[in-house]
Amino acid sequence: MAGSNGQVSPPEDSIAPAEDTVKISPIYEHLNELRLRFIYSTIYLIAGCIVGFFVTEKWVFAWILSPIVAIPEAQLQVLGPAEKLTSLIKTSFIVGLFVALPFIVHQFWLFLRPGLKNNERRYLLLMIPASAILFTIGAAFIFFIMLPVALPFLIGLDLGVDIETNITLELYFTFVLLLILAGGLVFQIPLITYFLAKLGIVNAGMLASNRKFAVLGTVFLAAMLTPTGDPLNLMLLALPIYILFEISIFIAAGTYKPRKD
């Protein structure tokens, strides 16, 4: 378009991409940062799996098998030539994930830190180690307390007929690892309650007045998380869940902050 002085003005569309570039640039930087953190996390996971393979082959494999090896009635077996190897690889991956998890969480923290406020950083720095500690306690409870009681009961259960107990290696590892995962997740209840109370969503009075629903919820949750669904395992998992609920009431009483409207 010609101006008043006879010069030709540039089309308006030619100026638009500069504004688009300014808007897209921060998004591109975030995506590039996310890609970088993902690459580092993948490298840490691969390194962790390599370490996990050697650790699992020498110590962890025998350690996980120890509860069932101690039961004379139980006979472990494999149904395929590669079952030992696949069980070893699966376990090595989980061990490697735990080895690499602190480094992966650090990469996650580096990605989130620039966009967080000071109080949000403080809560996140509290949540990460607390969650790891609670998960470890839950996993230890399952392996050292629940499994030594549950396995002899399940294997020695008398149904009135002569049944030979043969357990495949893969099914046993799946059973144990699912129980450990369930225990670790259940023990996050106090931490979840802490943050809900901090946000003013729940308080001690609210939790205490709903104890009867908590009992029903505890039994339902334990039934969902127990791979076998038998009454003994259900009770062994439901009891600590309810104890954690009672602990959560005290946590909520000390941390509750009314929501600001």
Q: What does the pLDDT read at residue 166? A: 85
- Domain limits, the chain: 20-171, 188-261
Summarised one tens digit per residue, pLDDT across range 64-116 is 999 998 888 888 899 989 999 998 998 899 999 988 988 998 898 888 888 88
Mean pLDDT in residue range 130-155: 89
**Among 166, 182, 172, CA closest to 233:** 182
Question: What is the rounded average pLDDT of the residues 167-171?
Answer: 91
Within 10 A of 255 (CB to CB), how many other CB atoms are there?
A: 16
Q: 188-212 pLDDT, tens per residue?
A: 999 999 888 887 888 888 999 988 8
Q: What is the pLDDT of residues 20-72, one digit of tens each?
A: 444 455 788 888 999 999 999 999 999 999 999 999 988 998 999 999 988 88
Is residue 221 scored above 90 in pLDDT?
Answer: no
Entry pTM:
0.77
207-220: average pLDDT: 89
Task: Note the pLDDT of residue 8.
Answer: 55
Tally of CB atoms within 10 A around 253: 14
Identity of the residue numbered 236: L
